[in-house]
Amino acid sequence: MRFGVRRTGRLVLSVWVLVTAAFLMIHVLPGDPVRASLGPTAPLSLIEQRRAAMGLDDPLWLQYVHYLGHLVTGDLGVSMTSGLPVDEVISSRLGSTVEMALLAFAVAVLISVPLGTIMAVLARSNKNRDWALTSAGVVVATIPEFLMAVGLVFVFSVQLGWTPVAGRSGPSSYILPVLALAIGPAFMLARIIRVELLSVLQADYIRTARAKRLRPAAVYLRHALPNALTATLTVGGLLLGALVAGTVLIENIFAWPGLGGTIVQSILAKDYPTVQGVVLVYGAGVLLINLVVDVALAVLDPRSAIRES
Amino acid sequence: MAYLKRPLGISAAVLLVLVLGLALVAPLLWQERADAVHPNEILLGPSSAHPVGTDLLGRDILARVLVATRLSVGLALLATAIGVGVGLLLGTAPTLLGRRVGRWITAVINIAVAFPTLLLALFFAVIFGVGAKGAVLAIGFATAPAFARLTQTLAATISGRDFIAAARVAGVGRMRILLRHVLPNIAEPLVVSATMAAGSALLAFASLSFLGLGVQAPGYDWGRLLGEGLAQIYIHPAGALAAGVAVIVAAMAFNLTGEAVARGLVMINPDKPRSALVGKAEPLPGGGLLHVENLRVSYGDVTPVRGVSLTVGAGEAVGIVGESGSGKSLTALAIAQLIESPGRVDADRIEFLGEDLRHGDHRKLLGTSLAMVFQDPMTSLNPTHKVGRQLAEVAREHQGATRRAAWRRAVDRLAAVRIPDAERRARQLPHEFSGGMRQRAMIGMGVMASPRLIIADEPTTALDVTVQRRVLELLADVRAAEGAALLFISHDVTVVGQVCDRVLVMYAGRVVEDLPTASLAGGALHPYTQALVSAVPSMTTDRDRPLAVIPGRPPDPHALPAGCAYAPRCPLATERCLDEDPTLTVHDDGRRVACWHAEAHLEGAAS
Ligand code: SF4
């Protein structure tokens, strides 16, 4: 119970910091955002009009109050370039980003759990192969997603012609973006699972499990792996967060109709209301992931909740 | 720099020097070539004139990638410097500004580190604007929170040290403490992290430039070249690939160097153990439940168990006593077939219930007939499984019981080891049990089937004195109820005396004496056994006299003496003891002793 209270307190504080940072973002910019967005040749009257419409001439605290008020009703303002409400722009594009991130995370987990387990088993039996696999893992895990994407496009689209280069059309168009996002984190997770598994295998309760003469597979899968995965969960949450950030690059490479394209275009076009809205959505996504991970940890391993308080 | 001597460290460092060197010289050598526009050589493939081909304006791609090293690496280093600087300021601010302000800064840092660097970089890119300058600041600020956190953590561990407390008591100012005492002590890990952070900054910069938010035309870094190359990837893939390879190589040079140094920091040099003597023991007469002959356990060159022979009869309670390091626990584990690689077990015979345990698979036999109780009940149960489930597992695995039958048996066994409200307790996790209760649950796990032998390895050492007695009683009861034999490992000769019929005394990996419990007080023949017994206070001990402690330490398993291992501590040691190792000799009454002077003692006692 104490855990719930503390965690909620932290969440509220985090949300406040996020919301305030997104508000201040536009106000600490050097220069006038309206002028910057309309360009140096814009007539003064238009600029004045826009400023008034956005309430930029009000005192800062009043703008903050208005901003919070609008936020509560889901009103994120109007795009300075397209004139569409920002919340509409976001809701039309959010789905494909979330879809890609979740798919990639699922693939990363599906690859990393067996891979990490195999690496741990090898570490205890075959030193040479363990070394080779671990080194390969280090190399693959360092390759950032956008370079992975370029490499995958080169091999599978250009050389082999198996998959489309860009866009979201059929199932085959998902393969490369999802793989590009998933491979790095998969190897990273596999390394962590390997380390955690090896340390769990030293634990006294594993000796107990062996003393019960369980099959080796049962010792690994029933007793060691779940405990190793609990320990991996924290890092898994961080990786999922990083994966969300990775979608920005991947969407731009594959011309994916998601928020990643929107944020880059709106930054380049100085469309600040849109930038602000998208930043809020990404931030909220990360906070949500952290929350889910913490709750999952507390459920899976009650000791972690006790440890925290 | 000793930690860079290993192959990985060397190659990473060499790579890093190459990258940095290239950043310095490449623009001097190839700038003209990189900028020369050749309208009639557009998008050529690799050739001898252009090893990686040309771009949209006919410029040589290789030259452009090489020249871009300076900008890419330079900007990344600049961003890292900003990140480290801001991070240090934020991280040390709580120390400098006092509790109140510090708490707020810490809270904000903690929230900021939860966000991925790239998202933070995008956020700051909005504030600082599009372009190289904006991107440097954005990446710098985006890496700062992680650095602030690291600084804080490191500083916190240092602040607890005595010398900081002393400085504080002496009235040294906060700033001075920070600069003179804290920072120098955490500099090394910070530099390592900064090196790795430079690798990440390089990648982040390539990302931003690639997205068009970093370096702007006509300038170019690897990220821009990559973006330009990607547009042409169908006609001319080499362009994108060359820039991609450059980014990866440079980033790895930073990361691996950092990692190699970091590993060097925590590396402990294990000095190689020297060879040890392995003795041979007298064979034993047959008869009984468990027969072990000449058991040896070795780890590399060290042999902590050197030829142990023992028998346990059906229903008999045998104790093994010895100091820590005597090899008693390893002996127990080796008998139970629980030594894991790199440990190695050899024996002339390990026979349990008529089966040769040295070869083949004995899962079923051991799973049902051999029970283990380990030392630390706090860690010996799986923390994430319900206690009942951990017991039930035995019946499921070896007796083919259904889930329900196994559970019923588990509850029954928990009740049998006197756990109150067993039904409810079975559904709890181990951390909800007290230490004594967990140990009882372990014993309950041992009697899920019907064990013929219970091996208990210091089962009460980790428990409270009051709980100890009850666990011992339970063990005795269970043994009586099951008719099982007991092999009881302990450092405490008194406890062994209470529980066991017969005692084996181990010293430096050998059995030095094997005698009935009744003979312990007054009848022990080996000087070590005598010393053990007299080190225990008893009702008859004169309270005013100091307790006899055994002087000296057990021998280093890496360097065992040539003669009797106990000789350096033995009051009776003679020339012979120093030169010749006494063998374990069986006497008429079945007692065994390994001591040159036990005979004399025995004769003396007999006459
Ligand atoms: S052999 Fe000698 S040194 Fe060893 S215990 Fe006997 S008397 Fe002591």
Count the alpha carbons within 13 Å of A40 in the hemisphere toward its beta carbon: 0
Partner-chain contact B213 A264, CB within 8 Å: yes
Mean pLDDT of each 10-residue bin along chain B, 607 residues long: 59 84 79 71 68 71 81 89 89 76 82 84 84 86 88 75 66 70 76 84 88 82 82 75 85 82 53 31 52 92 91 91 89 90 88 87 86 86 88 86 90 89 91 88 88 90 82 86 90 87 92 90 86 71 54 80 87 87 84 82 47
Summarised one tens digit per residue, pLDDT across range A154-207 is 888 777 777 666 666 777 778 888 988 998 888 888 888 888 888 888 888 888
DSSP-derived secondary structure letter, B552: S
Judged by a CB distance cut-off of 8 A, whether residue A1 touches chain B is no
Protein residue with least CA distance to atom 1, ligand 1: B595
pLDDT of residue A174: 82
Q: Which helix (H) or strand (E) holds B425?
A: helix B422-425
- Of the candidates A171, A308, A213, the one whose C-alpha atom is nearest the C-alpha of residue B338 is A213
> B542 burial class (0-12, 13-18, 19+ CB within 10 angstroms)?
exposed
Protein residue with least CA distance to atom 5, ligand 1: B595
For residue B342, whether the previous peptide bond is cis, meaning omega lies within 30 degrees of 0, is yes
Return the ∠ at Cα A285 (arms to A107 and A306), rounded to 5°: 90
Summarised one tens digit per residue, pLDDT across range B54-86 is 776 667 777 788 878 888 888 889 999 999 999
Whether A132 has a pLDDT exceeding 90, the answer reads: no
Q: What does the alpha-carbon distance between residue A249 and residue B211 come to, in Å, rounded to a whole number?
A: 7
Question: C-alpha distances in angstroms, A243 versus A110, A187, B211, B548?
Answer: 15, 13, 17, 66
**Which pairs count as long-range contacts for B588-593, CB under 8 Å and 24+ apart, including other chains?**
B591/B513, B591/B514, B591/B515, B591/B516, B591/B519, B591/B525, B592/B282, B592/B511, B592/B513, B592/B514, B592/B515, B593/B512, B593/B513, B593/B514, B593/B515, B593/B525, B593/B526
- Of the candidates B582, B581, B583, the one whose C-alpha atom is nearest the C-alpha of residue B562 is B581
Report the relative pairing of strands B343-346 and B370-373 from DSSP bridges: unpaired
Q: Which helix (H) or strand (E) holds B199?
A: helix B183-210
Domain ranges of chain A: 2-72, 94-308
- Of the candidates B276, B86, B334, B357, the one whose C-alpha atom is nearest the C-alpha of residue B197 is B86
Protein residue with least CA distance to atom 3, ligand 1: B567
| φ, ψ dihedrals at A235, nearest 5° | -65, -35
Cβ(B188)–Cβ(B75) below 8 Å: no
What is the Å distance from ligand 1's center to B154 Cα? 53
Q: State the CATH class of domain A94-308.
A: mainly alpha
Question: Pocket of ligand 1, candidates B505, B570, B593: which has the most ligand atoms within 8 Å of its Cβ, to mutate?
Answer: B570
Give the residue on A whose Cα is nearest the Cα of B443.
A208
- Give the start-end residues of each E strand in B347-436: 349-352, 355-356, 370-373
What is the Å distance from ligand 1's center to B572 Cα? 6
Q: What size, in residues, is chain A?
A: 309
Question: C-alpha distances in angstroms, B17 versus B10, B12, B14, B21, B334?
Answer: 11, 9, 5, 6, 52
pLDDT of residue B513: 93
Summarised one tens digit per residue, pLDDT across range B431-445 is 889 888 898 899 889
DSSP-derived secondary structure letter, B484: -
Protein residue with least CA distance to atom 6, ligand 1: B595
Domains of chain B in sequence order: 2-263 (1.10.3720.10)
pLDDT of residue B164: 65
Partner-chain contact B117 A215, CB within 8 Å: no
Q: What does the alpha-carbon distance between residue B553 and residue B574 come to, in Å, rounded to a whole number?
A: 19
Give the residue on A whose Cα is nearest the Cα of B118.
A245
Q: Residue ranges of the alpha helices (H) in B160-182?
A: 162-169, 174-176
The rounded Cα B388 to chain-centroid distance in angstroms is: 29
A249 contact residues in B (CB cutoff 8 A)? 118, 207, 210-211
Judged by a CB distance cut-off of 8 A, whether residue A184 touches chain B is no
Q: What does the alpha-carbon distance between residue B74 and residue B143 come to, in Å, rounded to a whole number?
A: 16
Judged by a CB distance cut-off of 8 A, whether residue A215 touches chain B is yes
Q: What does the alpha-carbon distance between residue B355 and residue A132 come to, in Å, rounded to a whole number?
A: 40
Give the residue on B whose Cα is nearest the Cα of A279.
B123
Ligand 1: residues within 6 Å at CB?
A: B 526-527, 564, 566-567, 570, 572-573, 577, 582, 595-597
Q: Residue ranges of the alpha helices (H) in B447-597?
A: 465-482, 493-499, 520-523, 527-534, 575-579
Residue B106 neighbours by CB under 8 Å, 6+ apart: B94, B152
Report the relative pairing of strands B453-457 and B370-373 from DSSP bridges: parallel
Question: C-alpha distances in angstroms, B122 versus A180, B134, B135?
Answer: 20, 10, 9
From A151, A222, A268, residue closest to B244, measured CB to CB: A151
pLDDT of residue B217: 75
- With both helix axes pointing from N to C terminus, report the angle between B465-482 and B435-446 in degrees, rounded to the nearest 10: 10
Q: What does the alpha-carbon distance between residue B274 and residue B112 come to, in Å, rounded to a whole number?
A: 52
Question: C-alpha distances in angstroms, A78 versus A54, A261, A272, A273?
Answer: 9, 18, 9, 6
pLDDT of residue B601: 55
Q: What does the alpha-carbon distance between residue A97 and residue A282 come to, in Å, rounded to a whole number?
A: 10
pLDDT of residue B283: 35
Structure tokens at A194: 């390997």
Q: What does the alpha-carbon distance between residue B256 and residue B258 come to, in Å, rounded to a whole number?
A: 5
From B116, B244, B338, residue closest to A207, measured CB to CB: B338
Which percentage of chain A shows pLDDT scores above 90? Answer: 3
Instruction: Indicate the average pLDDT of chain A.
Output: 82
What is the Å distance from ligand 1's center to B564 Cα? 6
- Give the start-end residues of each E strand in B340-446: 343-346, 349-352, 355-356, 370-373
Q: What is the CA radius of gyration of chain A?
A: 24
Partner-chain contact B123 A25, CB within 8 Å: yes
Q: What does the alpha-carbon distance between residue A251 and residue A98 come to, in Å, rounded to a whole number?
A: 12
- Which numbered atom of ligand 1 lies nearest the CA of B596? 1
Handedness of CA A186, A189, A195, A197 (dihedral sign): negative
- Of the candidates B407, B383, B449, the one whose C-alpha atom is nearest the C-alpha of residue A206 is B383
Cβ(B518)–Cβ(B564) below 8 Å: no
**Mutate: best of A213, A244, A276, A308, partner B, most B CBs <10 A:** A213
> A30 burial class (0-12, 13-18, 19+ CB within 10 angstroms)?
exposed
Average pLDDT over residues A228-240: 80
Q: What does the alpha-carbon distance between residue A109 and residue A129 come to, in Å, rounded to a whole number?
A: 22
Report the relative pairing of strands B349-352 and B370-373 from DSSP bridges: unpaired
**Mutate: best of B118, B390, B454, partner A, most A CBs <10 A:** B118
Cβ(B455)–Cβ(B390) below 8 Å: no
From B123, B207, B364, residue closest to A144, measured CB to CB: B207
Please count the other Cβ atoms lying within 10 Å of the Cβ belonging to residue B107.
Answer: 14
pLDDT band at A309 (very low <50, low <70, confident <90, very high): very low
State the pTM of this model.
Answer: 0.74
Let me know how many helices (H) and strands (E) chain B has, helices first.
Answer: 23, 13
What is the Å distance from ligand 1's center to B295 Cα? 22
- With both helix axes pointing from N to C terminus, report the angle between B7-35 and B61-97 in degrees, rounded to the nearest 10: 120
pLDDT of residue B285: 39
DSSP string of B278-302?
A: ----------SSEEEEEEEEEETTE
Residue B264 neighbours by CB under 8 Å, 6+ apart: B2, B3, B4, B6, B9
Average pLDDT over residues A228-252: 83
- Give the start-end residues of each E strand in chain A: none
| φ, ψ dihedrals at B312, nearest 5° | -130, 125
What is the SS3 assignment for B218-244? CCCCHHHHHHHHHHCCCCCCHHHHHHH
Average pLDDT over residues A8-16: 86
Summarised one tens digit per residue, pLDDT across range A50-89 is 777 777 777 778 888 888 888 888 777 777 777 788 888 8
Which percentage of chain A shows pLDDT scores above 70? Answer: 93
Partner-chain contact A248 B211, CB within 8 Å: yes
Q: What is the CA radius of gyration of chain B?
A: 35
Question: Which residues are bridge partners to B343 per DSSP?
Answer: B299
